[in-house]
Amino acid sequence: MPILWRLLLSIYNILMILVAGVFLAASLSIIDLQPYLETALNDQNRLLTAVIALSIIFLALVFLIQSCKTISIEDDGIVVQEALLGQVSMTVAAIELLIMKSVRQIDGIKDIRPRIRKDKTGLTVILDMMINPELNVPEVTVATQKIVKEQLENMGGLQVNAVKVRVDDFKAGK
Amino acid sequence: MEMKRPEIANDMGVVRIADEVVSTVAGLAAIEVEGVASMSGGWGTDLVEKLGKKNFGKGIRVEINEQETTIDIFLSIMYGYPIPQVAESVQKEVRTAVEMMTGLHVAAVNVHIVSVTMAKPAVEEAADEIEAE
């Protein structure tokens, strides 16, 4: 999802939390909503209230469509190549397995959870990792990014735009 | 709408080829390709196979109409093999085998990689061979 949509989604979520909070407070008789509702629905503010309501409905519909699009991409798999002989595709699960097997070559990675995002230009790989605290984090993450990109491009024939690594936790021992 | 199956007519009658025959031919050709670990037929087919019924056409979906045949292959690849090259070999082998054995015209062989498995280490393979002997 582009950064603008993420920002809008965050604003929408905060707005929904505020609305829910106001109604919760009203139900507990902490605040009285009646004067506010009367102000919002009087002849002077009626149009503005309608515009705000329509904007919220529009945003909700856009987010619904966006979430459905992501599901359909994951279900169809990712096309590796398309030629006269036919199409070659990989499921997201197979790509995740390929990543996990590639990362096994690096010492010190205790756990890894890959996620794949696909757009028109290629793949974005997001890796949540748990690593050995004795190791140098930048070195391990750079090695991971390098090996994942190499393996997906050379072995999988996939176009990788970015490999984003997030070290979630540390775990000592073998 | 049901598609009309192709028929090979001769002096003695008509020959019709079932989808299962095409699946078996395609499956046998695909599994022979180096780098292909196994065909993926879903947990139901795998369970039946474990119970002893070998299904050579598992992981293959065939669509035949009057003019041409489209084959979808769902398979697992061995880790370490380049996927585009293995998939291309599968497409070529399957197309050749199906066209040669059935006389059908194969329009497309779509390969879907559903899993990646580690190749067995050489020691383990040798042990399996000794056990088989």
Q: At what angle do helices A46-76 and A3-27 cross, to 10 degrees?
A: 120
Confidence bin at A106 (pLDDT 50/70/90): confident
Average pLDDT of chain B to the nearest whole number: 82
Residue in B with minimal Cα distance to A84? B108
Q: What's the rounded mean pLDDT across residues B59-88?
A: 90
| CB neighbourhood size of B32 (10 A) | 13
Best interface-test mutation with B: which of A78, A84, A88 has the largest number of B CBs within 10 A? A88
More confident: B1 or B103: B103
Question: With an 8 Å Cβ cutoff, are B114 and A94 in contact?
Answer: yes
Both tokens assigned to B103: 């006389």
Q: What is the pLDDT of residue A37?
A: 86
Q: What is the pLDDT of residue A70?
A: 45
Task: Quick: pLDDT tens for B16-30.
Answer: 888 889 999 999 999
Interface of A with B in 99-118 (CB under 8 A): 101
Residue in A with minimal Cα distance to B82? A155
B91: which chain A residues are within 8 Å (Cβ-Cβ)?
83, 85-86, 88
pTM for the whole structure: 0.65
Q: What is the pLDDT of residue A71?
A: 42
Q: What's the rounded mean pLDDT across residues A89-97?
A: 90
Among B133, B3, B123, smallest CA distance to B66 is for B3
Q: What is the pLDDT of residue B58?
A: 86
Nearest CA-CA distance, residue B122 and chain A, Å: 18
Q: What is the ipTM for the molecules in this complex?
A: 0.76
B126 interface with A at CB cutoff 8 Å: no
Quick one: CA torsion of B119, B125, B131, B133, rounded to 10 degrees?
Answer: 120
More confident: B47 or B55: B55
Task: Quick: pLDDT tens for A117-159.
Answer: 888 788 899 999 888 888 888 888 899 999 999 999 988 888 8
Q: What is the pLDDT of residue B110?
A: 94
Question: With an 8 Å Cβ cutoff, are B84 and A101 in contact?
Answer: no
Q: Read off φ and ψ for residue B6, nearest 5 degrees.
A: -70, 145
Give the N- to C-terminal CA distance of chain B in Å, as an integer: 51
Confidence bin at B92 (pLDDT 50/70/90): very high
Question: With an 8 Å Cβ cutoff, are B92 and A94 in contact?
Answer: no
Task: Quick: pLDDT tens for A9-53.
Answer: 888 888 889 989 998 998 888 888 888 888 888 888 888 889 988
Q: What's the rounded mean pLDDT across residues B120-128?
A: 53
* Spatial CB neighbours of A53, under 8 Å, sequence gap ≥ 6: none
> CA-to-CA distance for A78 and B46, rounded, in angstroms?
24
Both tokens assigned to A19: 């609305």
DSSP for chain B, written as a single string: -PPPPPEEEETTEEEE--HHHHHHHHHHHHHTSTTEEEE--HHHHHHHHHTT---TTTTEEEEE-SS-EEEEEEEEEETTS-HHHHHHHHHHHHHHHHHHHH-PPEEEEEEEEEEEEPPPPHHHHHHHHHHH-
Q: How far is residue B39 CA from its own chain's centroid? A: 7
Q: What is the pLDDT of residue A2?
A: 60
Residue in A with minimal Cα distance to B81? A155
Question: With an 8 Å Cβ cutoff, are A90 and B80 in contact?
Answer: no
